[in-house]
Amino acid sequence: MIGNLTAKPLGIEFRTRHLYKDPIVVVVKKGHPLVNKPELTWTDLSEFPMVLPPEFATTRNVIEEFLLFNQVNLSRRYVESLSTLTNIGVLQETESIGFLSSQVAEYFKKVNLVDILPLTMKNIYIDIGLVWYAERNLTPSQLNIISMLEETVYLNNLK
C-alpha cells in the first residue's frame, strides 16, 4: 500500500518504508473572502469555521497547537472529518477553512475547487510511504516498483 504512515508503529506483521513528507497547507473554496485579503495573517482565520481532522488523527494535535500558537481562535464552530471528499464538500458549501496535504490541495486547486492560502505551516506534514506484510517476500516486480517510487521522490526533491 502507498499511503499515510502513522506515528504509531503498525505492528511486527508489517514493514514500512518512508518515501517523503507532504506539507499541510491551508485551503478554502474559490472566491473565499480570505483569498484576496492583503497582508493575510493567521489571526484572520479566527473569523471562519474550520474543517479539522478528528482528535484521534495524527495531524489534529499538531495543527491545533500550531493554530493556538499563532493566536487563531478555535472556539468558532468546526467540523471533524478524515474524508477528503467530505472536507472538499464542506468547503464548497461554506466559508470554512480546511487543511490538506500539499499534493492533494494542488490537485483540487487544479480542478478549480479550492485555493491555497499563502500561510506556511512550518514542520507540519504527513509522512507518505509504503506498507506491506512482513511475512510476504517481495516479488521482483514489487521491488522494481519500490525502486521506481524512491527514484521519483528523489528526482522530485532535486527540483
**Chain centre to alpha carbon of residue 78:** 17
Reported as a single tens digit per residue, the pLDDT across 120-152 is 998 898 888 888 888 888 889 988 988 888 888
SS3 call for 10: coil
For residue 66, give the H/E element and its range.
helix 58-69
- Looking at residue 159, its pLDDT comes to 59
Is the pTM here over 0.95, yes or no? no
Q: Which domains does the chain have, with CATH numbers?
A: 2-158 (3.40.190.290)
**Is the Cα dihedral 133, 137, 140, 141 positive or negative?**
negative
SS3 call for 78: strand
Q: How confident is the model at residue 158 (pLDDT cuts 50, 70, 90)?
A: low
Reported as a single tens digit per residue, the pLDDT across 39-97 is 999 999 999 999 999 988 888 889 999 999 999 988 768 899 989 999 999 999 999 99
d(CA 82, CA 23): 16
d(CA 100, CA 156): 20
d(CA 74, CA 106): 25
Q: Is the pLDDT of residue 25 over 90?
A: yes
Q: Is the pLDDT of residue 106 over 90?
A: yes
